[in-house]
Copies of this chain bind each other. A is one copy, B any other.
Amino acid sequence: MQTVLTTPSRLAKRAQYDETTIHAILDEALFCTVSYAINGQPMAIPTAFARQGNRLYIHGSVGSHFIRAIETGGRVCITVMLADGLVLAKSAFSHSVNYRSVVIFAQAEKVEDAAEKMQALALLTDHLIPGRWDDLRPTTQSELRKTTVLAFSLAEASAKTRTGGPNDEPEDIDLPTWAGIIPLQTVRLTPVAADSSLDVPIPQYLL
């Protein structure tokens, strides 16, 4: 949703507010950064997350200073960035980055309902490793009690993206310098078994 907070001051044409774009970026990214402020001092923590509908979930230990600082509902800013490529132009000035980012302004809601909490943990697990949750023993009530799950509304979320090649100034375009894109990609390498699993076949959902 476009609000005063979600309208960027620069390159506003790159801003997007449609759910499809925002959800796709959130579903592809593995980690977000949660920024908060304590007495005006900014703090930030990178962490795992998952999305369902218009809610984003994070989790942490009930004893975590970070979780305790934000679970009472202070404003946070959650950012996600997918770096898609380095954009090399003919001048340093016109170099750029292809990216897809989301910025969310929200307040934490502590998930108290046990069923929603358990479902959020399944989402968090399967967001990083699709198919994993159903392959695991059930999470116990004790484990659930040791974990805080926080939910954030995506009502005040916006996306910003850049795609395509360099935008060089006309006077630079014929310089004999190579210009173009170096695509970036995050890849999953071959799984490495723990000592406890040397005899266990790698499950299909990891291949």
Residues of chain A whose beta carbon lies under 8 Å from any beta carbon of chain B: 5, 8-10, 30-31, 33, 35-37, 40-46, 48, 61, 63-66, 75-79, 81, 83, 86, 88, 90-93, 95, 97, 99, 101, 103, 105, 121-122, 125, 128-129, 132-133, 135-137, 139-140, 143, 146-147, 165-166, 168, 172-197, 200-203, 206
From B77, B92, B147, B200, A125 is in contact (CB under 8 Å) with B92
Besides the known contacts A30-B83, A31-B83, 9 further A-B residue pairs in the complex with CB atoms under 8 A apart: A31-B97, A40-B40, A41-B77, A46-B79, A91-B143, A93-B147, A135-B178, A180-B194, A182-B189
Question: A79–B44 contact, CB under 8 A?
Answer: yes
- Report Cα–Cα, A105/B41, bound state, in Å: 9
A28 to chain B, nearest CB (A): 13
Question: B184–A196 contact, CB under 8 A?
Answer: no
Question: A35–B42 contact, CB under 8 A?
Answer: yes
Chain B contacts for A86, CB-based, 8 A: 128-129, 188
